[in-house]
Amino acid sequence: MASSDEKPGPTPVATGDKPTPPGEPTTLSSKILDKGAGMMQSLKPVKEMKQHVCTFALYAHDLSRQIETHHYVGRLNQDVLQCAVYDSDKRKANLIGVEYIISPKLYETLPEEEQKLWHSHAYEIKSGLWVNPGVPQMLEKPELENMACTYGKFWCTWQVDRGDRLPLGAPALMFSPQPVNRGRVRPDLVQRRDEKYKISTEELRESRVDIQEPEIHPNADYWVKHNKGFAVDVKPADMKRLAPFP
Amino acid sequence: MKLAQSHSYYIKSVIEIESERERESNLMATSHVDVPGEPTETGTALLETATGTIQGFQPINNIHQHLCAFHFYAHDMTRQVEAHHFCGHLNEDVRQCLIYDSPNKDARLIGIEYIVVESLFLTLPDDEKPLWHSHEFEVKGGYLFMPGVPGMVERQDLKQVCKTYGKVIHFWQVDRGDPLPLGIPQIMMALTRPGQLDENIAKDVEKRFGVSFEEQREQRKDLTGPDHGIHPLANAAGRGLKTELREVDIPPATSMPRVFV
């Protein structure tokens, strides 16, 4: 099984124009239980997510597969961010993956083999593809220059664009849009996003012209220079045990 | 009615919330390693307070529940991780959880879990089923719990969870001291029988959260697992799983994709 599989194995839940995911609507008693638990539990880590970013990502094994993503970003410190990534900004959005974002200073400390899995954000931000919906430009501008220098590592666990109604298959590495032919986001995807938020990616690009172009580390965006992407395989293996399993 | 009884527990518990929250701030996981990097600058923090107030966070607001459980690597049971799940319902049959290494403000996001009811698990392709694990043992065993929620309320939900299957992927191998999320995603498994959970880890969690797995076991005797029994292909099909990275050929970066021509 590989993240690059075209389609997961046949299953009643992977085909047809039916809602994703399958299943019964949430019952009232579940909602009440949830509400009650929510009152008694503090959910602190989740409250640390203080930014919503809407942007685009490309599958590392097939750059023609592109998705609009919604990152809910939490900060661990000035150099490290962690994001829960969803396929929309609605309450019932599907959780499709996790992205980590680090400063150039930390990126440089990574081993070379690790660096290849990370992507740069400079083009994504300068081109206007990366937006903070609802935030006035003057507020977001100062931090965007910092963000533009960062590197991201994004794992996708639910290939909704493939038609998967449940999270199937191996996790997939994602890359960021890049200023080369294969790295550009399809205009229809951008247009749909812009219409939804009543923004113009083009105008944002113009307003971000003065954001400094950072120097991108040669090992980031590996595919651009090497014409090689990455896939993740899941294989049976012997489990080291300290007790019988299962 | 069960729900009405639970309601009175809610009221009693609201009073306990403050002291619980204070206790929680001392609940650091034992293998905590500092994340490299500078402390957050004031300007950055201010901006994020602003964006946190202005923007919408609907998908995050759908997260209503904190569950604590244990995972181990699908290729290595000896490497065990305390996993704090923050879960939301997509519908009655599917939940999705963010997994952190602690319940604290500075917790690291280390993975994701999806939870589905038995009927949906059964529709998964046979090569997918091994990536999922059963919850029956860890629920009945008392090892999976909802910090801060009284047993009676907790059990109402655990009754459902007991019959579900989960798929867990971790991205940050905190148990081996990684300062950053290095390497490739790891498929994880969960407890399926006595003797698997490391005793020190168990005792540490019991102490920090003021729970007793043995007591929970007693209270959960009437919970039942999947109606059709645990599927033989679940839990890594009884063997184990590993992930590998592979380079793949892709069209040259400068070649023109059809859609733009």
Find the range with the poorest average confidence among A7-21, A194-208, B2-16: B2-16
Q: What is the pLDDT of residue A100?
A: 98
Nearest CA in chain B to A140: B47
Q: What is the pLDDT of residue A227?
A: 92
B123–A89: do the CB atoms touch at under 8 Å? no
Task: Tell me the per-residue pLDDT of A47-60, one tens digit each, with 9 for 90 and over.
Answer: 999 999 999 999 99
Q: Per-residue pLDDT for A18 more than 70?
A: no
Task: Tell me the per-residue pLDDT of B170-207, one tens digit each, with 9 for 90 and over.
Answer: 999 999 999 999 999 999 999 999 999 999 999 999 99
Spatial separation of the C-alpha atoms in residues A58 and A154, rounded to whole Å: 10
Instruction: Give the bridge partners for B243, in sequence order.
Output: A234
B58–A93: do the CB atoms touch at under 8 Å? yes
Mean pLDDT score across all residues of chain B: 89
Are the beta carbons of A30 and B64 closer than 8 angstroms? no
- pTM to 2 decimal places: 0.91
- Mean pLDDT to the nearest integer, A62-67: 96
Mean pLDDT score across all residues of chain A: 93
A50–B93: do the CB atoms touch at under 8 Å? no
Q: What is the pLDDT of residue A17?
A: 59
Closest to A103 in 3D by CA, of B201, B254, B163, B35 = B35
CB proximity list for A136: less than 8 A, separation 6 or greater: none
Q: Per-residue pLDDT for B18 more than 50?
A: no
Q: The tokens 């500075």 sit on which residue?
A: B106
Find the range with the poorest average confidence among B29-33, B141-145, B208-212: B29-33
Task: Tell me the per-residue pLDDT of B24-82, one tens digit each, with 9 for 90 and over.
Answer: 444 444 445 689 999 999 989 999 999 999 999 999 999 999 999 999 999 999 999 99
Q: Where are the beta strands (DSSP E) in chain A?
A: 49-59, 62-77, 80-86, 95-102, 119-120, 151-156, 172-175, 228-236
Q: Write down the ipTM of this complex.
A: 0.94
Spatial separation of the C-alpha atoms in residues A46 and A34, rounded to whole Å: 15
- Considering only residues 157 to 176 of chain B, which have any Cβ-Cβ distance to chain A shorter than 8 Å? 157, 160, 167, 169, 171-172
Q: How near does any CA of chain A get to the CA of B246, in Å?
A: 5
Instruction: Give the bridge partners for A234, in sequence order.
Output: B243
Spatial separation of the C-alpha atoms in residues A56 and A70, rounded to whole Å: 8
Task: Tell me the per-residue pLDDT of B84-107, one tens digit each, with 9 for 90 and over.
Answer: 999 999 999 999 999 999 999 999
B50–A23: do the CB atoms touch at under 8 Å? no
Distance from first CA to last CA of chain B, Å, rounded? 66
Task: Tell me the per-residue pLDDT of A29-50, one tens digit each, with 9 for 90 and over.
Answer: 888 888 777 778 989 999 999 9
- Mean pLDDT to the nearest integer, A127-150: 91
Q: Hey, of B21, B78, B120, which one would you mutate to test binding to chain A, going by the most A CBs within 10 A of its CB?
A: B120
B120–chain A Cβ distance below 8 A for any pair: yes
Looking at per-residue pLDDT, the higher value among A10 and A74 belongs to: A74
B14–chain A Cβ distance below 8 A for any pair: yes
B54–A134: do the CB atoms touch at under 8 Å? yes
